[in-house]
């Protein structure tokens, strides 16, 4: 019986992969990858040789049915993203949904996801939170920010380095200059960084220190 297994991959340190994930990667027939080059590098590190096919944001809709056909023709197909858990602000949701719709067995292994360690180590309440991922770049962005400004739970956002200062400026504008913020960079990597302070303080810091790497923004809920 055909099966799709969603396998989280390390977000930084390559040791952050489970023994089960390594076994599944070793046993599968084929791997769908967000970037075949990135996945090939991981497989080389693990000394695993498997066929790798591209499955990324730009081809998700176009190749959805052919990907389903490929899954049906194999006993075990794996889906990975460049880092973290597929489907969490990465390609994968459409494929998982279509597998469910077509009665294909689907399984997701537990594993790395950037926002979880960022949230837990931020110092903000993590018993209740709202995960927004990437905010809309243009249409609907202001509306979303206005709604989030009234949220009383901890807010989790993803942002790219070159848009971080702009995003912090908008948090300062819509949430208030004194709203507590924590920016987390490069989780599980050599230069992992947590920068805590008010929206204004953190924005001013990154104006003087342009950031690099993967970024998670935590915003304290409204009191």
Is residue 62 pLDDT above 90, yes or no?
A: no
pLDDT number for residue 189: 93
Q: What is the CATH number of domain 3-108?
A: 3.40.1010.10
CA distance 217 to 160: 10
In the prediction, which pLDDT does 138 show? 87
Residue 57 has pLDDT above 80, yes or no: no
Q: What is the per-residue pLDDT for 145? A: 97
Q: Give pLDDT, residue 123.
A: 96
The strand pair at 129-134 and 105-108 is best described as: unpaired
Q: Find out whether 5 and 86 touch, Cβ atoms under 8 Å.
A: no
Task: Average the pLDDT over 168-182 and give the result.
Answer: 98
**Per-residue pLDDT, 68:** 94
- Average pLDDT on 147-163 reads 97
pLDDT value of position 56? 80
Judged against a pLDDT cut of 90, whether residue 169 lies above it is answered with: yes
Reported pTM: 0.90
Please give the span between the terminal C-alpha atoms of the chain, in angstroms, as a whole number: 52
Domain 3-108 and domain 115-219, same fold? Reply is no
Judge whether residue 61 has pLDDT over 80: no
Q: What percent of the chain has pLDDT over 90?
A: 91
Average pLDDT, the chain: 95
Domain ranges for the chain: 3-108, 115-219
Per CATH, which fold does 115-219 belong to? 3.30.950
Minimum mean pLDDT range among 20-24, 60-64, 106-110: 60-64
Cβ atoms of residues 168 and 182 within 8 Å: no
Q: What is the pLDDT of residues 76-97, one digit of tens each?
A: 999 999 999 999 988 889 999 9
**How many residues are recorded in the chain?**
223
Q: pLDDT confidence of 204, banded at 50, 70, 90?
A: very high
pLDDT tens sequence across 94-130: 999 999 999 999 999 999 999 999 999 999 999 999 9
Provide the token pair at 101. 């719709």
């Amino acid at each position: 019986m055909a099966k799709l297994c969603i396998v989280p991959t390390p977000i930084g340190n390559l040791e952050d992969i489970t023994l089960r994930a390594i076994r599944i990667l070793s046993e599968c027939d084929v791997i769908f990858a967000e970037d075949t080059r990135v996945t090939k590098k991981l497989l080389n590190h693990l000394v695993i040789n498997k066929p790798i096919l591209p499955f990324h944001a730009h081809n998700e809709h176009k190749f959805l049915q052919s990907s389903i056909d490929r899954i049906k023709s194999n006993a075990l197909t794996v889906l990975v993203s460049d880092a973290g858990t597929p489907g969490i602000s990465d390609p994968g949701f459409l494929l998982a949904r279509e597998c469910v719709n077509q009665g294909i067995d689907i399984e997701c292994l537990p594993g790395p996801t950037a926002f979880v360690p960022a949230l837990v180590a931020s110092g903000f309440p993590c018993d209740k939170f709202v995960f927004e991922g990437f905010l809309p770049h243009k249409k609907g962005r202001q509306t979303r920010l206005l709604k989030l400004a009234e949220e009383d739970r901890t807010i989790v956002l993803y942002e790219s380095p070159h848009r971080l200062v702009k995003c912090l400026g908008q948090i300062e504008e819509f949430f208030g200059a004194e709203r507590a913020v924590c920016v987390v960079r490069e989780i599980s990597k050599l230069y992992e960084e947590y920068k805590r302070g008010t929206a204004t303080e953190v924005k001013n810091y990154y104006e003087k220190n342009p950031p690099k790497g993967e970024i998670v923004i935590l915003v304290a809920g409204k009191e």
